[in-house]
Structure 1
Amino acid sequence: MTIDENAPVRLEDIIPIAFPAGGITLAGLRKEVARGNLAVEKIAGKLFTTLGDIKRMREKCRVKEKDPDSINDLRREDVRPPGLSETDQNSLAQESLQHLVRKTRQRLRKSS
């Protein structure tokens, strides 16, 4: 039996069709509806969805590949080479400014 991708099927009836090996429950699909990942239609108080909607939900739920924890690949634009962080740079600038102020005050005291 082939079901059209756009044919409405009750939520509980689509589970064995869309997930023949199991792994998802009616409660799981309802959670995805609540999260906004699965489009449904409410007809006569019953929830319906389509195989196309299930396909789109799966695309939304797909786990993205994790970026490597190492910064060995410096060719990537989003990886910054090792060095001072912006906080460290700001601290150094602040220390330098404070040192300059102290020296200026000392010179002013000596000239007064």
Structure 2
Amino acid sequence: MVSVDEYISDMYAPDATGDQVPDWVIREKDQFREIRDKNKDGVMDRDEIREWIIPPDYDHSEAEAKHLIREADTNQDSKLTKAEILDSYDVFVGSQATDFGDALLRHEEF
């Protein structure tokens, strides 16, 4: 179970200066209460945490493909050339979508 204070404490800790709480903290607390805490019991239970971390409608493969294109597409044409892939080899080697680079080594057509 995660309370709203525990949820926020990982991202923000008020300092001793007494400065005003930033707007984003207020928005995050509201989001916690209105969206994340589905049953409105003041804490996120196991199912609510699971849905937050792994949304049921989230396509991991599509998100990773978009990430790779965004990172490597230097001319912003939404297509990757062999040169763009090789220039961004480190991005692809770190990607689960390419089996951490193994897929690049197996395909000579690159």
Normalised by the length of structure 1, the TM-score is 0.30
Q: Which structure's residues are more often helix, by fraction?
A: 2
- Answer with 1 or 2: which has the greater Rg: 1
Which one scores higher on RCO, CA 8 angstroms, separation ≥ 6?
1
Q: Which structure's residues are more often strand, by fraction?
A: 1
